[in-house]
Structure formats: C-alpha cells, structure tokens
Structure 1
C-alpha cells in the first residue's frame, strides 16, 4: 500500500518517502536544519516549539497563493454553470490543481 504524498513541514515541497520506517518530515537536510534553528530560537519564549513563524512577506505570499487557488476554483464553478466544454473544464481543473499545490507551500 502506497502512502499519500507528504509535504515538507518547512517549505511545503513534496517529500519522497519509502513504504518502510518513519515518515520523513523534511524534503532535504537544509529544511531540517532551518526548522531546528527556528525551534532553538523559540526556546525560552512564549512561542510554541511546533509553531511555524513566517515573515510578513511570506504571510502575504501565502495569502496571495491561497487567493489564486480560490479564484481558480471559482473559475471552474462559473465554467460549469455556463456549460463549458470538457476540454476547457479540464484545462481549468489542471490550473486549479497547480495553484492548490503551490498554495500548500508555507514558504
């Protein structure tokens, strides 16, 4: 049985995984290191250890990607209501999937 693709908890990229052992949490060593550095920087503060801290720019970028994914979903809904052709719906859905994958990234 194959596992569902996992996203890196640091950057959101897809993590390659095997069917054996513990699931990987990071896509590469550099992401693991950045997460470690952030956890250590948060020690002794009121910030929870498992918190994800984003810069203002990263938060705006995340909101923009989420908005783009929602707009793509609305485009699909509008196209369905208007009776769009199968090829147009397929192209809109492909675009929506790409935008949704991009929106999953935290950074």
Structure 2
C-alpha cells in the first residue's frame, strides 16, 4: 500500500502492526482494561525497570561529572553512554 495525497492516511505502518492492534482490542474487550492500555509481561516490566534505573544512574553520573569539573573527553564519554541507554530504555520489545 502506498501513501499518496489522496484518500485516508494510514493508521498502521504495516499489516503486522494492524494485526497486533486487533489482537489487543479483542483480548481486552469486555474487561475493565482500557482499550489504550499497554500490556507487558512481568519479565518485560522488570527489564524496563532495569533499563530506566541504568538510565537514571547514567544521568546522575553525568551531573556529578559536571559538578566536579570533568574534562571534555570524560563528559563526552558519559553523554554518549547516556544517549545509548536512553535509546535502549525506549525499546519495549
């Protein structure tokens, strides 16, 4: 399917995304779970918590290095690590 200037804009990027959305809607139908809820397994929640903790620690390390007058190379290394951890933290699957 090609996006063009005419017609409706796509709601989903690909068929598999549309299928996952359908599956979630049907699984939550008739329950108290909101339709827009994000459902994670216990392992996924633990992994996300671990990634967020690592991200916070890296941010604190960078703040400490700034307060202590760390040199440019040290700050560059810390900020590079912070960005890497932030990218990893936003991953849900």
Q: What TM-score bracket applies, with the shorter chain setting the length?
A: 0.7 to 0.9
Matched, 1:36 2:22: yes
Aligned position for 2:57: 71
Partners of 1:85 and 1:77 in 2: how far apart? 13
State the 4+ residue runs in structure 1 displaced beyond 6 angstroms.
none
Partners of 1:66 and 1:23 in 2: how far apart? 32
- Which has more radius of gyration? 2
Give TM-score, length-normalised by structure 2: 0.79
> How far does the alpha carbon of each residue in 1:48-82 deviate from its partner, in whole angstroms, 9 at most, with x for none?
11100000000001100100100000110111122
RMSD between aligned alpha carbons?
2.3
* Worse-superposed segment, 46-55 or 76-85: 76-85
Partners of 2:58 and 2:91 in 1: how far apart? 17
Alignment size in residue pairs:
88
Unaligned runs of 5+ in 2: none
Aligned position for 1:94: 80
Give TM-score, length-normalised by structure 1: 0.70
